[in-house]
Structure 1
Amino acid sequence: MEYLFISLIGYLLGSFPTAYLLLKKMRNVDITIQGSGNVGAMNTFDVTKSKILAVIVLLIDALKGLLSVYLSLLIFPLDFIYPALALSFAVFSHCYNPWLKFKGGRGLATSAGGTVLLFPVILIAWCIVWVIIFIMKRDIILANVWASGATMIIILSTAERIVKYSFPQAESISSLLLFSTGLMTIIFTRHINPLIELLNNKKFSLKGKDEQKTN
């Protein structure tokens, strides 16, 4: 019963459609049918060209993850599984929002907000990889995917050592791996389509260059 209660808290917090409500109120725009259709900070900027609105969306989406973990820790302060469940369900409902016909964001801001409290060392590792890849590739989607993949590899390869850096400390390595794998899976599923689109655009660009050379 406790698991269901905590999961519901996370799910309801995560389902708050920040970008959708903000853009409807401020610009009378339905973000689900504008730009990429993604209900998050990146598409908010793409649609509105407003850094302020994008940052507001980013911070509120991060706050959803932070609150889900914080509230679960208030109720169950010594068990890793409860904040892990709350954050996982917050990210899931953010990515597949029940109020928006299961459209949503990509889950990174909400994940980061919760991970600040739950597993800060992993968030730091993710950010370092993200910055490196972004500097090299100058593409946010690629940086997101590479950073998430690299972070998962780090967790899998060093689980026995880094488990002590979770807060509260995970009861077992398996619970840490289950949480991490679940969270990364949700994030990856929301990056499949933009990644395919990006790769197709690159192929088209390379094909165009080859045709120009032959001409």
Structure 2
Amino acid sequence: MNQLLAALLGLLLGSIPFGLILTRAAGLGDIRAIGSGNIGATNVLRTGNKKLAAGTLALDFLKGAAAVLLAAALLGPETAGIAAVAAVLGHCHPPWLAFRGGKGVATALGVFLALAWPVFLAAALTWLAMAKLVKISSASALTGLAVAVVVAALWGGWPLFWPVALITAYVYARHHANIRRLIAGTEPRIGQGK
């Protein structure tokens, strides 16, 4: 029962579409009608409003962390991994948006922090370094997530590795079009294009 409740908690918190809420509140309309059509921070940045993009990033991050921390506190630490995976799935497939949400990177980083700070730190530092080096959001995020899996395996063993690896695999799957563009050399740089 606790595992089911943790999954529901993660799904509900993860499915809050902060990118859509913030852009509508700012009078910018429906974020799904521009750029990639996603509700995440990278697409919000395409509105030209850096503050809204930063707010979206922070809130998507925090909802992931909150899901894990609340599940662990209310339902037991063994439910943290389930809440983590569910939060990312909720962000990617919010039921109130016809199951079409974001790609899950910011929410994944939030759950990583709540699960084990070294995993988050490794992913975030890699993401920032890659963003500065190549200036491509997807490449930065995907590299950071790959590093997170390695650190999770070394730091926490199976209880930490399985949710981090599962989340990373799913976020990679969500980025299939980005990966194709990266291979083709056509992926846009941060703040531009799709």
Summarize deviations over 1:3-56 as a string: whole Å, max 9, x none: 11111011001011111122223225221221111111110011x201111111
In the TM superposition, what is the alpha-carbon distance from 1:150 to its structure 2 partner?
A: 2.7
Inter-partner Cα distance in structure 2 for 1:177 and 1:55 = 29
Inter-partner Cα distance in structure 1 for 2:75 and 2:79 = 7
Are the counterparts in 2 of residues 64 and 110 from structure 1 also a CA contact under 8 Å?
yes
| Residue of structure 1 equivalent to 2:163 | 179
The number of aligned residues is 187
After TM superposition, the structure 1 = structure 2 runs for residues 47-196 of structure 1, keeping only pairs within 5 Å, are: 48-77=47-76, 79=77, 81-156=78-153, 158=154, 162-163=155-156, 173-196=157-180
Summarize deviations over 1:114-158 as a string: whole Å, max 9, x none: 2222210011111222233223322111111122123323434x2
Q: Which moved more, 1:64-73 or 1:7-16?
A: 64-73
In the TM superposition, what is the alpha-carbon distance from 1:201 to its structure 2 partner?
A: 4.7
| Residue of structure 2 equivalent to 1:168 | none
Q: TM-score, normalised by structure 1?
A: 0.79
Unaligned runs of 5+ in 1: 164-172, 204-215
Inter-partner Cα distance in structure 1 for 2:98 and 2:44 = 19
Are the counterparts in 2 of residues 7 and 85 from structure 1 also a CA contact under 8 Å?
yes
Are the counterparts in 2 of residues 72 and 86 from structure 1 also a CA contact under 8 Å?
yes
Q: TM-score, normalised by structure 2?
A: 0.87
Unaligned runs of 5+ in 2: 188-194
| Residue of structure 1 equivalent to 2:192 | none
Q: Which amino acid aligns with 1:118?
A: L
- Is residue 9 of structure 1 aligned with residue 9 of structure 2? yes
2:26 alignment partner, SS class: helix
Inter-partner Cα distance in structure 1 for 2:86 and 2:112 = 13
Inter-partner Cα distance in structure 2 for 1:54 and 1:142 = 18
1:27 alignment partner, SS class: coil
RMSD: 1.9
Runs of 4+ in 1 over 4 A off after TM superposition: none
Inter-partner Cα distance in structure 2 for 1:73 and 1:192 = 32
Are the counterparts in 1 of residues 115 and 160 from structure 2 also a CA contact under 8 Å?
no
Inter-partner Cα distance in structure 2 for 1:4 and 1:72 = 11
In the TM superposition, what is the alpha-carbon distance from 1:57 to its structure 2 partner?
A: 1.0
Are the counterparts in 2 of residues 32 and 103 from structure 1 also a CA contact under 8 Å?
no
Q: 1:26 to 1:132 in 2, by over 3 A?
A: closer
- Which of the pair has more CA radius of gyration? 1
